Amino acid sequence: MTEVARTRARLPIDERRAQLLDLGRRLFVERPYDEISIDDIAAEAKISKGLLYHYFPSKRSFYVETVRVAAADLVARVTETPRQKSPEERLERGIDAYLDYVADNAAAYRTLLTTGIGVDTEIAAIVERTRAVLTERILAELGSKPPPALRVALRGWIGFVEGASLEWVTAGGPSRDVVRKLMIEMLQAALAAVPTLPR
């Protein structure tokens, strides 16, 4: 088989895999992990269980992949504003995208960050990796060699965003604009605090 032919043959497989992951994200948002069986997934996807296993060796691996795709999607959305825009606008749009994501995936977000479905080192590693990537993106925006305190402050701010988002989607209360404004002010406070700190 030539390289071209192989690529062509592989495409539908990737598409099918992507479709299955889309379906998985929807299913795992709608119902708890433990309540969804491989049979349910195959039925929803209108494929055989055998074919599903061809793509994903287990329900757990399928779930891990849906979380990985969801995390990549979050990072892409949060960081999609072009570099031509001002840092302020990119931050604001980034937080907007984050809050959209949280609101659209409230159940999955809450589950991932507060309950046991993760039950799993791989999931925890994806969540932690996502935090690290977002921290690095902000550091890259700020340029130059970051003092260690800045890294601590930014990683803390990511924690702030998560904690505040969880409270917002769980208990409700303030409007989305209030939450966004709070997050922006807290990042400004974190950045402002660092230069005044002894290094």
Residues contributing to the site for its own copies (CB under 8 A): 114-125, 128, 131, 147-149, 151-153, 155-164, 166-168, 171-175, 177-179, 181-183, 185-186, 189-190, 193-194, 197-199
Choose between 72 and 119: whose C-beta lies nearer to its own copies. Answer: 119
Choose between 78 and 153: whose C-beta lies nearer to its own copies. Answer: 153
Phi-psi region of 47 (alpha: psi -120 to 50; beta: other; left: phi over 0): beta
Total residues belonging to the chain: 199
Choose between 44 and 96: whose C-beta lies nearer to its own copies. Answer: 96
CA distance 41 to 152: 41
Choose between 38 and 158: whose C-beta lies nearer to its own copies. Answer: 158
CA distance 177 to 69: 28
Instruction: State the nearest-atom distance from the C-beta of 60 to its own copies, in Å.
Output: 12
Residue from 11, 16, 6, 27 nearest 54 by CA: 16
Q: What is the largest CA-CA distance in the chain?
A: 63
Choose between 51 and 107: whose C-beta lies nearer to its own copies. Answer: 107
CA distance 20 to 40: 12
* Residue whose token pair is 């404004």: 181
Instruction: State the nearest-atom distance from the C-beta of 107 to its own copies, in Å.
Output: 15
Residue type, 67: V
Tokens encoding 11: 């495409």
Tokens encoding 139: 């550091």
Cα-Cα-Cα-Cα torsion 176, 182, 186, 192, nearest 10 degrees, comes to 120
Instruction: State the nearest-atom distance from the C-beta of 180 to its own copies, in Å.
Output: 10
Choose between 48 and 115: whose C-beta lies nearer to its own copies. Answer: 115
Instruction: State the nearest-atom distance from the C-beta of 197 to its own copies, in Å.
Output: 5
